[in-house]
Amino acid sequence: MPEALRPIAPEPGASVVPLAAPLVEARDVTFAVRGRRLVDGVRLAVRPGRSTVVLGANGAGKSLLLRLLHGLIAPTGGAVLWRGSPLDRAARRHQAMVFQRPVMLRRSARANVAFALGVRGIASRDRAARVDEALERARLTALAAQPARLLSGGEQQRLALARALVTEPELLFLDEPTASLDPASTHAIEGLIDDARAAGVTIVMVTHDRGQAERLADDVVFLHRGRVAEHGPASRVLDAPQSEPFRAWLDGRLYLDPA
């Protein structure tokens, strides 16, 4: 068995409470460009039903990590596993991703959602009811016939979530889904994320918003220069940060690495 796929042995003295097997796992994942390690030896296990929020300064590698975990880019070192096996195209069908700036097709809101089901091979006769339900949940029924690109930023982001959730993913990646939205739109998006969590969808989300992490996270990961500086239950990690970069980030202070 290749080293990267070997199960991680528990550390001596570690808790032996059985945990659910990870849904997605980063095994020493590195992404280097021209010798620069933008993501550097990340070890991370995301367990089913948990909501993990990834925090970190600009350029820390958060978006890259999400793209690596979702298989949009391939690691230059280490491996990403899905249910213990290398992530492949079939596994990615159980996942969905929503970006900060959603890309809408030049079609109606309804057709954008239906398209996601078409890509998954769902027959057209089986799409309508699922599309209606997804639009209803996102409170977009009244806008279903509108060209998606004419919707407001907040409406487009709700549509992007509807388009992701209609495929019934087990794991949903969210890359700063509320970054450019006002409080009302942010509240609506968080409501949809919360509903997905309640329905058992595993969430991995990047945000810059501490309040959002407090509201939505079971677990928090803090990335610093491509490395995991902290990882643990949100309540513990946010209340008692152990690393200086994370303390500085939480306090809104500038952190400069010692030379």
Of residues 23 and 39, the one with the C-beta less far from ligand ATP:
39
Of residues 26 and 166, the one with the C-beta less far from ligand ATP:
26
Of residues 103 and 145, the one with the C-beta less far from ligand ATP:
103
Q: Which residues contact ligand ATP by CB under 6 A?
A: 33, 38, 56, 58-64
Coil, helix or strand at residue 25: strand
Residue 55: CB minimum distance to ligand ATP, A:
9
Of residues 64 and 237, the one with the C-beta less far from ligand ATP:
64
**Rounded distance between C-alpha atoms, residue 193 and residue 173, angstroms:** 11
Of residues 56 and 154, the one with the C-beta less far from ligand ATP:
56
Of residues 63 and 141, the one with the C-beta less far from ligand ATP:
63
Selection from 106, 167, 174 nearest residue 134 by Cα: 167
Residues pairing with 223 in the sheet: 56, 228
Residue 186: CB minimum distance to ligand ATP, A:
17
72's torsion region: left (phi>0), alpha (psi -120 to 50) or beta?
Answer: alpha
Of residues 34 and 125, the one with the C-beta less far from ligand ATP:
34
- Single-letter amino acid, residue 256: L
CA dihedral angle for residue 158, residue 176, residue 70, residue 224, rounded to 10 degrees: -170
Q: Is residue 108 a contact partner of residue 146, using CB atoms and an 8 Å limit? A: yes
Q: Is residue 46 a contact partner of residue 220, using CB atoms and an 8 Å limit? A: no
**Rounded distance between C-alpha atoms, residue 97 and residue 99, angstroms:** 7
Residue 63: CB minimum distance to ligand ATP, A:
3
DSSP for 122-187, written as a single string = --GGGHHHHHHHHHHHTT-GGGTTSBGGGS-HHHHHHHHHHHHHTT--SEEEEESTTTT--HHHHH
